[in-house]
Structure 1
Amino acid sequence: MSSIERREAPGALSKDRLSPEAQAALAAGRADSTRRAYREDREAYLAWCAARGEQPVPATQELLVEYAAHLTLTPRPRTGRPSAPSSIERTLSAISTMHAELELPRPETKGARLVIAGYKERLAKSKSPRARQQQAKAAVPSALRQMLAVLDRDTLIGKRDAAMMLLGYAGATRSSELVGLDLGDLVECEEGFMVQIYRVKMKAFTDTAVPYGKNPATCPVRALRALVTAMREAGRAEGPLFVRIDRHGRIAPPMMRHGKPIGDPSGRLTPDAASDVIERLADAASLQGRWRGHSLRRGFATAAVRGGATMIRTAKQGGWADNSTSLARYYEAGDPWEDNPVTGL
């Protein structure tokens, strides 16, 4: 892309004029997962253009229509199925922002979005599961109890997984927020724990109160205290709260690949590893559907609405922005049984 002529628009941000430090600081404004997805989307688009002998930028509307159609028909190596509609929409955003970063006019995507609309209808008529947005199931209290029941909480792994589940639920955390916690972010008090959580979308820390639960088996405070105590007994009084543990109870065992060490030396779990824990426990509990780290955040929001919590209090506890449309959707949907208009007719 370096050989592509850039057309600087008035007021455009020129990265060439920024120091490496400033460029890194600018890139940090976008979430890691988004940066990774955009990078993969762009690399795939550039490879497709190179194979066809097409000029990738500035992209014509016709080229984007062709590429969108290609994505609806071509199986992805990772899944063996064509991209989902939401993935193609993200790809268009990645290509569009790539133009903006090169100081080129954003391409016209209307035609490509018509392709996506037709693709959605085709999937819906064929009853394909991909016609629906694949959301993680909500880990409401009943599901949490089932997953916790399969844990051996006498082991260090069991203590870690129980604390991860219950704190992730009580704090309505994203996976990256949960694994980003350190032991020093917990302050125990008479009422429970005050936890300092970095909210990735707000790009700010929140002091989140985690109170005692009525049932000891599902109490996040007791679960956290059990984990912290066990970690200290194992010689860990600082550093990451949630770490990798092997079946022998060793904390942060070395990981090697091709003779080279991999993974965080401190043993901090990755967001994907935290999600895998939830998925594994849901499978062991014979729960159906897609279970990931976000299940805890969805479960909290769902239970808060059903319990009559106000949107303001729910947003504060879970680190949602005041004008969060995602949180508003939970309240607009309500409880499909309690708020069903058919009831009483």
Structure 2
Amino acid sequence: MTAFAAWCASTGRRPLPATAETVTEYVAYLTLTPSGRTGRPLAPSSIERAIAAIRTAHRAAGETAPETMGARKVLTGYRRRLAETKDPAATPRRAAPAVPDTLRAMLDTLDRGTLAGARDALLLLLGYAAAARVSELVTLDLANVAETEDGLLVTMRRWKTHHDQEVAVPYGKVPATCPVRASRALRTAMASAGRTAGPLFVRIDRHGRIAPPMVRKGQPIGDPTGRLTPAAAADVVTRAADAAGLVGQWTGHSLRRGFATAARRNGANLERIGRHGGWADGSRALLAYIEDADRWEDNPVAGL
């Protein structure tokens, strides 16, 4: 939304409330203008997220979200052009799913006797078991994760639906991959370091210090409580996958996708998977994950 507002300011348009024509012209601009990071126009999936962010910002401000039919027609044409030229950007790059075998391999790379290792282990296990986005994980405070007789009860703000959800995470059968035991280990380690309240996932330096001060040009930067950013949480996943020698694209979303894939292979129905992970009804992302999981287990060619 920040980039959209800047573009509107440079072109004399109003970002909020925006008209359908403004959003359409912005999407056309994005399909033609190289980004500063890659030197080429954004991928269609990135433009989809930009459209969604504009609509979300309108709803958050109490405004009617602009109609996006024209913008999506432009986006469809952009996808077609990329496909005709066999541009790799035409094919969305999906995060590799962190299914149980790969998750175990990632956990095996951690030194769980350290504070950082205990944090990373819980981040991987809770991200998987709660089907959480990294943006949702980093908003958790210690008070949001309660241990009960049956497991963890995690109060999580779901990013897409903007609702708080109580996610039940049961004990794992194997202690090394049990999110309840991992939560207990991190709490104990943080308490020893003097932290009993505040963010669940915090910055830890190579000396094991929690939330070391960060400055730029003499000015403090970053969350003063030391709360991890979504990018830093995603880096935990990528580092563990690299250390385990895993091939593919490993991102923070690998945990959420891995849960959906493994749950479906284990026989869970679509409704239960969607409710547990906080997916919106009819989520196309979830349906894509389910189709991937069913590719072999429910293959219509089998037995013909």
Residue segments in structure 2 that go unaligned for 5+ positions in a row: none
2:20 and 2:162 map into 1 onto residues whose CA distance is: 36
1:324 and 1:283 map into 2 onto residues whose CA distance is: 30
1:163 and 1:99 map into 2 onto residues whose CA distance is: 35
1:39 aligns with 2:2: yes
Deviation string 1:99-148 (CA, Å, 9 cap, x unpaired) is 999x99968863x6554333322322333221112332221112211211
Deviation string 1:167-220 (CA, Å, 9 cap, x unpaired) is 111111121221111112222233322222222333333222222212222111
Shift of residue 84, structure 1, vs aligned partner: 1.4
In the alignment, what sits opposite 1:291?
Answer: 250
In the alignment, what sits opposite 2:274?
Answer: 315
Conserved in 2, the CA contact under 8 Å of 1:164 and 1:178? yes
In the alignment, what sits opposite 1:79?
Answer: 38
1:116 and 1:161 map into 2 onto residues whose CA distance is: 38
2:285 and 2:142 map into 1 onto residues whose CA distance is: 30
1:157 aligns with 2:116: yes
1:299 and 1:342 map into 2 onto residues whose CA distance is: 25
In the alignment, what sits opposite 1:32?
Answer: none
- Going from structure 1 to structure 2, the CA distance change for 1:210 and 1:60 (only over 3 Å counts) comes to closer
Conserved in 2, the CA contact under 8 Å of 1:46 and 1:56? yes
1:195 aligns with 2:154: yes
Conserved in 2, the CA contact under 8 Å of 1:177 and 1:197? yes
Q: Which amino acid aligns with 1:266?
A: T
Alignment of 1:242-253 (within 5 A): 242-253=201-212
Conserved in 1, the CA contact under 8 Å of 2:56 and 2:65? no
Shift of residue 67, structure 1, vs aligned partner: 6.0
Shift of residue 78, structure 1, vs aligned partner: 1.3
Conserved in 2, the CA contact under 8 Å of 1:42 and 1:91? no
Shift of residue 299, structure 1, vs aligned partner: 0.9
2:231 and 2:65 map into 1 onto residues whose CA distance is: 36
The TM-score normalised by the length of structure 2 is 0.84
- Going from structure 1 to structure 2, the CA distance change for 1:283 and 1:121 (only over 3 Å counts) comes to same
- Going from structure 1 to structure 2, the CA distance change for 1:215 and 1:127 (only over 3 Å counts) comes to farther
Q: Which amino acid aligns with 1:220?
A: P
1:155 and 1:252 map into 2 onto residues whose CA distance is: 15
- Going from structure 1 to structure 2, the CA distance change for 1:249 and 1:105 (only over 3 Å counts) comes to closer
Q: For 1:136, which of 75, 95, 101 is the aligned residue?
A: 95
1:150 match: secondary structure: coil
1:151 match: secondary structure: coil
Conserved in 2, the CA contact under 8 Å of 1:97 and 1:106? no
Q: Which amino acid aligns with 2:275?
A: K
Shift of residue 311, structure 1, vs aligned partner: 2.7
2:147 and 2:86 map into 1 onto residues whose CA distance is: 51
In the alignment, what sits opposite 1:28?
Answer: none
Shift of residue 325, structure 1, vs aligned partner: 4.6
2:166 and 2:109 map into 1 onto residues whose CA distance is: 31
Alignment of 1:40-119 (within 5 A): 40-47=3-10, 49=11, 56=13, 70-89=29-48, 110=70, 113-119=72-78
Q: For 1:210, which of 164, 169, 178 is the aligned residue?
A: 169
Conserved in 1, the CA contact under 8 Å of 2:161 and 2:280? yes
CA RMSD of aligned residues (A): 3.2
Paired positions, count: 300
In the alignment, what sits opposite 1:13?
Answer: none
Q: Which amino acid aligns with 1:125?
A: E
In the alignment, what sits opposite 1:260?
Answer: 219
Shift of residue 332, structure 1, vs aligned partner: 5.1
1:301 aligns with 2:260: yes
Q: Quote the sequence identity (%).
A: 57
- Going from structure 1 to structure 2, the CA distance change for 1:297 and 1:107 (only over 3 Å counts) comes to closer
Shift of residue 72, structure 1, vs aligned partner: 3.2
- Going from structure 1 to structure 2, the CA distance change for 1:98 and 1:343 (only over 3 Å counts) comes to closer
2:282 and 2:23 map into 1 onto residues whose CA distance is: 33
- Going from structure 1 to structure 2, the CA distance change for 1:131 and 1:231 (only over 3 Å counts) comes to same
1:59 and 1:315 map into 2 onto residues whose CA distance is: 33
1:335 match: secondary structure: helix
1:130 match: secondary structure: helix
More moved, 262-271 vs 128-137: 128-137
The TM-score normalised by the length of structure 1 is 0.75
Shift of residue 297, structure 1, vs aligned partner: 1.1
Q: Which amino acid aligns with 1:72?
A: T
2:297 match: secondary structure: coil
1:177 and 1:94 map into 2 onto residues whose CA distance is: 16
